[in-house]
Amino acid sequence: MFLQKTLKDKAVIRGVGLHKGIETSLSFCPAPANAGVHLVRTDLEGCPSVPVHVDYVRATALATTLGNERFNVSTVEHCLSTLAAFRIDNVYLELKGSEIPIGDGSAKVFMEEIRKVGTIEQREPRKYIYVTKPIYCGSEEKHAYVVPYNGLRLSCTIDFDHRQIGQQFVDIDINEQTFAKELASARTFGFVKDIEKMREMGLAMGASLDNAIALDDDKILNPEGLRFENEFVRHKAMDALGDLMTLGRPIMGHVVLYKAGHDILNQLVRKILDSPDSFQELELGGGLPQFESFDIPFSGRA
């Protein structure tokens, strides 16, 4: 928690992309201290790259897409959530293809491969965004905010008009253990009626019951059922953790989400970085500063 970390060795994940359905591979490669996290397209001439930062977010519909004028990479949030939970600060994400492999629709495959190679501390302090005042974006109907907290905590509420989902809530202090137990294996999900429309647009070509929870008008189609009773909201929380990586630095605060997708998370990240009077840049070791008292923007569970 005090020092930056990278991987001890390269970890490789292969599979298909969710939307294009094309074989792709991702390598997590060790990087030096203060390098940060970068996406590198090794299948393109010159191996162009972009840092994982909100300035390079190109789209937030269906998934988070990072890129520049030369390339885009979609569905980055699952692998980024694993980096956030395992406190990995410096890594090159070397990708062959325009999508991150979807695995089984969760972050499980990324977590397992990172655990196999292990992590190593580096001789530089970890620099945090330490939230000292509430930062809010959205509306009462759909919103996200972060308030001071000595750690990283996620509270997430979703509400779908479907008998198998409805309103669900999860509240988790994020660390390696809670991520592995509570979030990593929660799968993405979609509705059959939407998937059919998406495929007409050339999307969701790699989606199957092996990498997503599918729902028709009233039931879950996966024969094995759910991994958690509230798997849907757990997956949304995992997505949010990955999207927070676009801050460019780890955050300390309590992030509260209500019906917030990738678009709202993107707005929250931008609002945080545009609110320098509401956070401190902090290196741990000398104790945590005191924050002011505050009022929650909206009362209630979310």
For the chain, which residues make up each domain, given as ranges?
3-125, 128-283
Intrachain domains 3-125 and 128-283 with the same fold: no
Q: Name, in order, each residue with C-beta under 8 angstroms of 104's C-beta and a sequence gap of 6 or more.
A: 185, 187, 210, 211
Q: How far apart are CA 242 and CA 262, in angstroms?
A: 10
Burial class (CB in 10 A: 0-12, 13-18, 19+), 48: middle
Instruction: Give me the CATH code for the 3-125 domain, please.
Output: 3.30.230.20
Instruction: Give me the CATH code for the 128-283 domain, please.
Output: 3.30.1700.10
Instruction: Name the band, by pLDDT with cuts 50, 70 and 90, for residue 294.
Output: low
For residue 254, indicate whether it is catalytic.
Answer: no
Q: Provide mean pLDDT across the span 99-109.
A: 96
Q: Name, in order, each residue with C-beta under 8 angstroms of 144's C-beta and a sequence gap of 6 or more.
A: 136, 137, 138, 255, 256, 257, 258, 260, 264, 265, 267, 268
Question: Can you give the pLDDT at residue 298?
Answer: 53
Structure tokens at 82: 């694993």
Instruction: Name the band, by pLDDT with cuts 50, 70 and 90, for residue 300.
Output: very low
Look up the pTM and report it: 0.93
Q: Provide mean pLDDT across the span 234-238.
A: 98
Instruction: Name the band, by pLDDT with cuts 50, 70 and 90, for residue 292.
Output: low
Q: Provide mean pLDDT across the span 73-88.
A: 97
Q: Is the pLDDT of residue 37 over 80?
A: yes
38, 78, 143, 262: the active-site residue: 262
Q: How far apart are CA 191 and CA 189, in angstroms?
A: 7
